[in-house]
Structure 1
């Protein structure tokens, strides 16, 4: 079954994000998924291998709530907030995506030509996962944070490095979408 989520309107989701960010700023905390990964690796003993993971992870234990929230939110979204409608795309976008070799554009939340287990376990799919994982890991470490941390937490606290990182994320996404993906597919 194809699940399509109905997004919450901006006047509900925007104030909720603002409330969470205001609470985090008030308590002197930051938000981001990469910090959760660092905390989990530190808990698992990665500090024995790399100094990057040597820190007091107990002070960041509260941040693991983000992971629990992401899992619960995904479960609630797929089971209680989804419907059977299809994604509405611009006809020009549909034609451009079909030219890349994708079929049934808009019929699924994600294209099965990329997110199918047969594709993932192919040589090409495996190499794409390895290369993409390396680039994401390198970029996250180099930018000192992930997209969610910089775009939501960093921008809301008016951090200049976060603005630079977010501009880089968008430029990288545009380059990937317009130049690299057509070469891969």
Structure 2
């Protein structure tokens, strides 16, 4: 019987696949971004009848919805069928920083202090999700795209606004990591 060898994939595998996908998208004149899928789904469900932003030909974006389904299916396949038994390697400095903040990580890469039903039904957990979701949604709309769209598609097309957006994403990540996270936990 054929046995699947389960081992971590090298980091450069994803870079090669992303580059291949970008070449295909550029060849076919498409641009990549996941946040546009939300607009497409809302439009397909009829939101364009009430909100002008969603009133567009969503059928022209069917390929991007297929990409979304493929990304979800690929994530599931890699997590369930191709995942290795080796634990993810996390530096000792990161482990100490997380434990100082009160997280159980890296024992659990999705700490229960954030990613559990108990955390969701607290005032702090609910507000974190609500405010975080609003900020991501507002930021993606205000920036004209999400991190994947700007960092992968926009930068590969040498778009100046995407470079500014990516710099802003990194600054926001640094502020969140070193200022907001310690304040919230």
1:54-93 equivalences under 5 Å are: 54-93=55-94
Q: Give distance in 1, aligned partners of 2:8 and 2:165.
A: 26
Residues 8 and 86 in structure 2, CA contact (< 8 A), matched pair in contact too: no
Q: Structure 2-normalised TM-score?
A: 0.91
Residues 86 and 107 in structure 1, CA contact (< 8 A), matched pair in contact too: no
Q: Give distance in 2, aligned partners of 1:142 and 1:6.
A: 40
1:120-135 equivalences under 5 Å are: 120-135=120-135
Question: How far has the Cα of 1:10 moved from its partner?
Answer: 4.1
Q: Give distance in 1, aligned partners of 2:66 and 2:129.
A: 27
Partner in structure 1 of residue 152 of structure 2: 152
1:31-50 equivalences under 5 Å are: 31-50=32-51
Uncovered stretches (5+) of structure 2, i.e. residues with no partner? 1-5
Q: Give distance in 2, aligned partners of 1:131 and 1:47.
A: 25
Q: Establish whether residue 51 from structure 1 lines up as the match of residue 69 from structure 2.
A: no
Question: How far has the Cα of 1:7 moved from its partner?
Answer: 5.0
Distance 1:139 1:7, change over 3 A: farther
Higher RCO (Cα < 8 Å, 6 or more apart): 1
Distance 1:64 1:163, change over 3 A: same
Task: Name the Cα RMSD after superposition.
Answer: 1.6
Uncovered stretches (5+) of structure 1, i.e. residues with no partner? none
Q: Structure 1-normalised TM-score?
A: 0.91
SS in 1 for 2:114: helix
Partner in structure 2 of residue 118 of structure 1: 118
